[in-house]
Amino acid sequence: MTPRPKLRVIRPRARRKPAGFTAFVSDLARLSSGNSCSLLLLALFARSAGRSHDWTPVLHERDLALICRCDVRTIQRLIVALDQRGLAEVRRPRVGLVEVRLKFQEWAALPDCGDCLHVVG
């Protein structure tokens, strides 16, 4: 008779808080107000990821409007809404230019977007 093999007990690891892109994507749909907002958040994340600091370089609102396929006024409203809702910090070096720091590490604590669709206008 052959001896029975010993079974190993595998304990699941404690779930860690997602970081980086995983944290960003896990809350994106819940906090976005729609298509233009989602595209804006993705564009801002792409511009700030991998930098030594979290701020995007200076971006033209007109370029962001082209990326998000909407008008400049919609981008301006969305950026203000992101700042007011605590999704991002915004600096405006000059008229038509913007620097943004997404605070996606803190997004898990924020309430769902819910009725924020009026912001897109």
Q: Provide the residue ranges of all domains of the chain, joining segments of one domain with +.
A: 21-110
Query: How would you class 23 by CB atoms within 10 Å of its CB: exposed for 0-12, middle for 13-18, buried for 19 or more?
Result: middle
Domain 21-110: CATH architecture, name and number where available: Orthogonal Bundle (1.10)
Per-residue pLDDT of 38-56, as tens digits, reads: 999 999 988 987 776 789 9
Per-residue pLDDT of 77-114, as tens digits, reads: 999 999 999 989 999 999 999 999 988 888 888 888 76
